[in-house]
Amino acid sequence: MKKIKVLIVDDSAFMRKVLEDILSSDNEIEVVATAKDGKEAIELTKKLEPHVITMDVEMPILNGLEATKSIMESKPTPIVMLSAITKEGSEATLKAMDYGAVDVIEKPSGSVSLDIRKIGEDIITNVKSASKSTVKSNSIRFLKNEDKNQNIVAEKSLEKISGIALEKLNSMAILIGSSTGGPPVVSDIISSLPKGMPPIFVVQHMPRGFTKVFAERMNTVSKLTVKEAEHGELVKSDHVYVAPGDTQMLLQKRGGNAYISIDENMPKVHGTRPTVDITAEYVVKVYGRNTVGVILTGIGKDGANGLKQIKSIGGYTIAQDKDSCVIYGMPKTAIEMNVIDVVLNPSKIPEEIIKFSKKIVG
């Protein structure tokens, strides 16, 4: 069996050595080289053609963000970002994912994490997942120019939903689940939706600390209010709630209102937390058949059972198409379970979401 060839990029000699030890401990992985900065990473990528690159964010000469952009333009390769949780680091990491990086791993204690070995299994798992990714040089954005006019038309027709009574908007919900390669797709979908939308719940597999910046970045390009979900807050229309990393996002109904409950102790399901299936279960309890479920790119099977619940109760389910997925695992599983109503390119999903929302409210 061919081994997964990995290039490690980090300006710390200690980090390069420990990451090499961690990855080399798995007999399916071969570390073919290490690089101390982005410039060296670009050169080694062209020369060695690794299957996966682990990329530090903050480096001299050329940082991880610029290196990722250059590699994705010249030699598209699955890149896993390794980043410390700082506001600057988180923003750069998410920008790198816009450029085409497929995943992010949180360094547990800063740029030089002496305790990096404690997440060794996670690093190995993420690298193996990334090796299954399909990356393209044009994958920076999913809404291509030819789709822009269609989206403008869709927005104009869907803005009519804004006149709907508030109680009707609050009687329905949209759930979006995503993993590897998902952040730019989620952002494109959310930014294309007009005002006058029911509450939207986003479950993106992402470490703690990155989800807040992810929500803040989407908020700057969206007509809706996008925020990281908070425990106990009232759910409102025209709001998008992003599940905080390393927690489960639940819902509770009190009186005629829905409230968010964030559980930090509930275990991982499918090896991840937050989990699409968990949030879906609670969305269905509160909104029933007035639910739209969307499953996007990602490895594994999370979301399939959740969408099964949505479809079985009379809601509507959408899956991202194979050609636009970085990893087709999550949509593929749901499609094979026969729980998907329609399969679409992400550029078509906003219009489909609003069409069903209009159908619910008549």
The whole-chain average pLDDT of the chain stands at 89
What domains does the chain contain, in order, with CATH numbers?
4-130 (3.40.50.2300), 145-361 (3.40.50.180)
Render pLDDT for 62-113 as a digit per residue (tens, 0 to 9).
999 999 999 999 999 999 998 876 667 788 888 999 899 999 988 877 677 7
pTM above 0.85, yes or no: yes
Quote the percentage of the chain above a pLDDT of 70: 90
Render pLDDT for 335-348 as a digit per residue (tens, 0 to 9).
999 999 999 999 99
pLDDT at 107: 83
> Lowest-confidence range among 70-74, 113-117, 298-302?
113-117
Check pLDDT > 60 for residue 8: yes
pLDDT at 148: 45
In terms of pLDDT, which residue wins out, 184 or 116?
A: 184
End-to-end CA distance of the chain: 56
DSSP state of 346: G
Check pLDDT > 70 for residue 254: yes
Strand boundaries in the chain, DSSP class E: 4-9, 29-35, 52-56, 79-84, 103-107, 173-178, 200-204, 225-228, 239-242, 248-254, 257-263, 291-295, 316-320, 342-344
In terms of pLDDT, which residue wins out, 136 or 182?
A: 182
CA 104/CA 125 separation, integer angstroms:
12
pLDDT at 145: 43
Of the residues 51, 205, 239, 270, which is catalytic?
A: 205
Check pLDDT > 90 for residue 287: yes
CA 342/CA 337 separation, integer angstroms:
13
Render pLDDT for 19-58 as a digit per residue (tens, 0 to 9).
999 999 999 999 999 999 999 999 999 999 999 999 999 8
CA 125/CA 281 separation, integer angstroms:
27
pLDDT at 115: 81
Check pLDDT > 70 for residue 16: yes
Across the range 259-275, mean pLDDT stands at 95
pLDDT at 146: 44
pLDDT at 357: 84
pLDDT at 341: 97
DSSP state of 110: B
Q: Is 354 helix (H, G, I), strand (E, B) or coil?
A: helix
Across the range 306-317, mean pLDDT stands at 97
Render pLDDT for 125-171 as a digit per residue (tens, 0 to 9).
999 999 999 887 644 444 444 444 445 545 554 555 455 566 677 88
pLDDT at 86: 65
pLDDT at 168: 75
Of the residues 191, 302, 324, 357, which is catalytic?
A: 302
Quote the percentage of the chain above a pLDDT of 90: 74
pLDDT at 318: 98
Q: Are 5 and 32 in contact (CB under 8 A)?
A: yes
Across the range 109-119, mean pLDDT stands at 78
Burial grade of 343 (CB within 10 A; 0-12, 13-18, 19 or more): middle
pLDDT at 84: 77
Of the residues 113, 131, 179, 192, which is catalytic?
A: 179
Per the annotation, the verdict on 205 as an active-site residue is yes
